[in-house]
Amino acid sequence: MDHEVYRSDLLAHCYRMLGSFDEAEDLVQETLLRAWKAADRYDPDKASVRTWLHRIATNVCLTALEGRARRPLPSGIGVAGDDPQVPLIPNLDIPWLQPFPSDPADTTEQRAGLRLALVAALQLLPARQRAALVLREVLQLPAADVAKTLDTSVASVNSSLQRARATVRAAGVSIEGLREPADPGERAVVEKYLAAFEAADVPALTQLLADDVVLEMPPVALWLAGRDHYREFLDRVFTMRGTGWRAVPVEANGGPAFAAWTPDGRPHSVQVFDVRDGLVQRCVTFADTTVLRGFALP
């Protein structure tokens, strides 16, 4: 039984549960080790290999989540700032949500439920509610399989799902859209943003922003809302750090993104976008250079 063919699927699952790409990699290794040790007990009449492996992975994740603090984005822990000129001080005491290096060749199932807004909303849920929602709504497993995975009843699963859906919906995330592909025009918008960013063309960048656009910059806790604040922050960046930034397209969280280097050639960030109706609704600039390790970069 070749469990390795399920690695990318399991990696996405563990990331949805943990919000950390680094931890997800470790938990996939633990999942595959447990599966190898239990291979002689696998019964194909009771579950597919995929369902069986996700059952193992879910319980590995639940164990890992015991006593853990949730991984937020800055918008999940405070109100928007109103001064784009304040000092940008990293808060390294918070276990921030990480981006997920995805692959355009991944299946729809592997890419589903990876959008940052959803993964951030999942972090609001208790671990078992999180597992129930991911298994049922993203992986679309039958309620009976979810109940078996969580060692509970179907009624209990349905009750957990009801509470989880309400929490995620209150966070502004559409449950119905969990499995929908990204905006088909998203890539073109991100490509235009990348070109304007490299050119330090603030007017062109501003034209790509929604009125209520959000900019987040973990590990800095500050976040900004609104096109005017975003534009002022961009002006500040190019004035302070200079022009001549370089960017390389990458895939993150199921959609187009880019990695950026400062004018002096230093790695700076991975920038992940939410695009709707042809405009950038949110940019999460992960300015922790350790997150670049997961991406295939030159």
CA distance 243 to 128: 47
Contacts of 151 (CB under 8 A, 6+ apart): none
Q: What is the structure's pLDDT at 178?
A: 67
Q: What is the structure's pLDDT at 2?
A: 57
Q: Strand runs (DSSP E) across 123-263, as ranges? A: 209-217, 220-225, 246-252, 255-261
pLDDT digits (tens, 9 = 90+) for 193-205: 999 999 999 999 9
**Termini Cα distance of the chain:** 35
Q: What is the structure's pLDDT at 255?
A: 87
Q: What is the structure's pLDDT at 25?
A: 96
Structure tokens at 94: 């918070």
Q: What is the structure's pLDDT at 3?
A: 63
Q: What is the structure's pLDDT at 111?
A: 78
In three-state form (DSSP H/G/I as H, E/B as E, the rest C), the secondary structure along 4-59 is HHHHHHHHHHHHHHHCCHHHHHHHHHHHHHHHHHCHHHCCCCCCCHHHHHHHHHHH
Residuewise pLDDT in 10s, the chain (298 residues): 556 778 999 999 999 999 999 999 999 999 999 999 999 898 888 889 999 999 999 999 999 999 988 999 999 998 999 999 999 999 999 999 999 998 877 777 777 789 999 999 999 999 999 999 999 999 999 999 999 999 999 999 999 999 999 999 999 888 776 666 667 789 999 999 999 999 999 999 999 999 999 999 999 999 999 999 999 999 999 999 999 999 999 999 988 999 999 999 999 999 999 999 999 999 999 999 999 989 988 7
210 and 230 Cβ atoms separated by less than 8 Å: no
pLDDT digits (tens, 9 = 90+) for 66-87: 998 899 999 999 899 999 999 9
Q: What is the structure's pLDDT at 177?
A: 67
- Domains, the chain, ordered by start: 3-79+121-177 (1.20.140.160), 186-294 (3.10.450.50)
SS3 226: coil
